[in-house]
């Protein structure tokens, strides 16, 4: 026989289901943070939350679904995108540099340590679109917004990839404000108009007169 939180009908069971769901999420977040994503199983989460493991599959599909929901609720994106358009690229640059230096929530740092996990990679791949490119496109709301949003995401994710793969030691050794400003300039360039497809570039002026004699 199902427990009240596992059945439908009425506000009481609904509240029970919501409470159970929230308890599972809280347990998953705590365990992912303390143990690392790859070291935590659905059974561990169920035991910690005091529920049957079948409820995880019912509410979230699998452990990956739990992580997706946690990141949806607690992730920086798309909230970071909201705000004054004039400071959008500055906000994104500051966030990227802070992550480059290993800053962030305890959960973010724990997930960094599990970056090679296939489940984690699949979740992040989905969030590239749902939490970054789609919200950026809607926020920009201009012709070509999708292309601009995709290019900005590529810059941000490229920096993340360098950090995870190579360590970004040289970048982290740079002056932080200088690096933030350089990244902001790159993101500003991502917002520049692409122009009409196939339109010829403006011809450059004659070369060879400026700097003549500088050997």
Give the whole-angstrom CA distance, residue 211 versus residue 208: 7
Give percent of the chain with pLDDT exceeding 70.
84
Average pLDDT over residues 199-203: 55
Model pTM? 0.75
Q: What are the pLDDT digits (tens) for 49-97?
A: 999 999 999 999 989 999 999 988 877 887 899 889 999 999 999 999 9
Residue 46 Cα to chain centre, angstroms: 27
Give me the domains of the chain, ranges plus CATH numbers.
17-62 (1.10.10.60), 75-190 (no CATH)
For residue 139, count other CB atoms closer than 10 A to its CB.
16
């Amino acid at each position: 026989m199902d427990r009240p939180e596992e059945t439908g009908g009425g506000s009481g069971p609904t509240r029970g289901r919501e409470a159970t769901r929230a308890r599972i999420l809280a347990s998953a977040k705590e365990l992912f943070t303390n143990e690392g994503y790859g070291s935590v199983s659905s059974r561990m989460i169920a035991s910690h939350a005091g529920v049957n493991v079948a409820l995880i599959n019912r509410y979230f599909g699998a452990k990956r679904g739990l992580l997706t929901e946690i990141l949806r609720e607690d992730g920086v994106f798309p909230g970071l995108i909201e705000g004054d358009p004039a400071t959008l690229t500055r906000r994104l640059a500051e966030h990227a540099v802070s992550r480059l230096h290993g800053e962030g929530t305890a959960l973010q740092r724990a997930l960094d340590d599990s970056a090679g996990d296939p489940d984690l990679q699949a979740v992040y791949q989905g969030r590239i679109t749902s939490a970054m490119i789609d919200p950026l496109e809607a926020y920009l709301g201009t012709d070509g917004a999708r292309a601009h949003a995709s290019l900005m995401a590529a810059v941000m994710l490229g920096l993340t990839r360098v950090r995870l793969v190579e360590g970004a030691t040289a970048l982290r050794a740079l002056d932080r404000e200088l690096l933030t400003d350089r990244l902001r300039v790159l993101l500003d360039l991502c917002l520049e108009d692409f122009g009409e497809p196939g339109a010829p570039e403006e011809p450059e002026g004659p070369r060879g007169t400026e700097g003549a004699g500088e050997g």
